[in-house]
Each structure stands twice: as C-alpha cells, then as structure tokens.
C-alpha cells in the first residue's frame, strides 16, 4: 500500500518537472555590468574606510 502510494506521488512530481519550462537565464547587459562595478566600488570604499577607522582608533 505504502509503496504504491509513494510511486504514484513520485511519478506525478516527475511529470510536473517535465511539464515545467526550462529556467530562463538573462543575458548580461551594460546596466548589469555597471551595477557590478558600482557594487565593487562600494566594497572597496568600505574596506578602505574600515582600515582608516581601525588605524585612527588604535
């Protein structure tokens, strides 16, 4: 009883995965590259600021 119920549930999940469309990937754009550059700039600035305040406080 349990095995047949498990097989039915597994089969329905597998069928649902086959019906689902493939996941779409977005193409990189210049706006995305600008975002990545800005984010890296912010990280670099934060690193420098942290180092400065560490030196000031010691």
- End-to-end, the C-alpha distance of the chain in Å comes to 71
Domain edges within the chain: 27-58
For residue 19, what is the enclosing H or E element?
A: helix 2-19
The helices-and-strands tally (H runs, E runs) of the chain is 2, 0
Question: pLDDT tens-digit profile of 3-54?
Answer: 777 767 776 766 666 666 666 666 666 767 888 999 999 999 999 999 999 9
Q: Say which residue, 36 or 2, is predicted with more confidence.
A: 36
């Amino acid at each position: 009883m349990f095995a047949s119920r498990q097989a039915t549930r597994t089969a329905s999940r597998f069928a649902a995965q086959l019906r689902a469309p493939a996941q779409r990937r977005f193409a990189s754009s210049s706006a995305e590259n600008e975002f990545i550059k800005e984010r890296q700039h912010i990280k670099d600035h934060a690193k420098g600021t942290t180092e400065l305040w560490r030196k000031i406080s010691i």
